[in-house]
Amino acid sequence: MAFHGKQFARAFAATLSIAALALTAACGSGDSDAAGDNAADASGDITQQTVTPGKLTIATGDPAYEPWVMNDDPESGEGYEAAVAYAVAEKLGFSDEDVVWTRTSFETAIAPGAKDWDMNIQQFGITDERKNAVDFSSPYFKDTRAVIVKKDGPYANATSLADLKDAVIGATVGTQGYTVASEKINDNVQTFNDDASLAQALDAGQIDALVADTTVCVYMVDSGQVADGVVIGRIAGSEDVDGMGIVLPKGSKLTDAVSDAVDELTEDGTLAQLQEQWLSEYTSDLPELA
């Protein structure tokens, strides 16, 4: 059927109106989808900024050692770092049931690249080099370094760093223990890949003494990792300058909020209480080695 005059004009206008409505609907749908995608950001709800919205995925070591995590069971909330993690989660607005634990190695956690967790807590010292690959929270603990020798070894009676000047010292590679040993004792420091290998080296007589974090040293002796070992003292002036921080993926939207949470826990005395509960037996009553 053919259109003539006004009939053609009315038909053409109707067609344009339908097309315009369709275009408007399509644009509206796209805008709605975009708004939905950005809803979490716009709301400022930190609980929706995580790897799994509504859940907080926290990584720790495999295994995780005492006194940081008791019985390798972070879900229990027992141990200093496990307790700190749940306290931070609460500050962020997550219940205990919303916390999901996972495991990573120390090295992969601070390597560049994407992460499948929101936070990682396993005694990471804050350094400028590591900040190139990951974010850090404010420090939640500042440890010192200590020395272990064998009870029946040639340095069992050492009471000063000078007494160790001829000793073969061991330390875990890349740690503050290595830095402090080489700067304050001597430059004859052998390195090992992890604390377990370090303890075995002292047991086997490969080294005369080892230097590590004070909490680690006390645990090594108490747990029997070093048979017949003794912590002869804490090294003077060896406290962390920057301390240990919670690691987050580089550029994480949670970094500022996690730092704020740690700061609040410091200011209200919670961290001091948790340190007294979980770390006092590892850090108190040791002589100072100068």
Mean pLDDT (whole number) for 210-229? 94
Long-range Cβ contact pairs of 169-174 (< 8 A, separation 24 or more): 169/207, 169/208, 169/209, 169/210, 169/211, 170/198, 170/201, 170/202, 170/206, 170/207, 170/209, 170/210, 170/211, 171/198, 171/210, 171/211, 171/212, 172/197, 172/198, 172/212
What does the pLDDT read at residue 174?
A: 79
What does the pLDDT read at residue 218?
A: 94
Q: Which domains does the chain have, with CATH numbers?
A: 48-142+242-289 (3.40.190.10), 145-235 (3.40.190.10)
Mean pLDDT (whole number) for 243-249? 97
Bridge partner list, 135:
248
What does the pLDDT read at residue 281?
A: 84
What does the pLDDT read at residue 193?
A: 86
Give the chain's length: 290
What does the pLDDT read at residue 284?
A: 73
Tokens 């009870």 label which residue?
151
Cis amide linkage into residue 53, ω under 30° from 0:
no
* Statement: residue 207 has pLDDT above 60: yes
Alpha helix (H) ranges present in 185-254?
A: 195-203, 214-222
Cis amide linkage into residue 112, ω under 30° from 0:
no
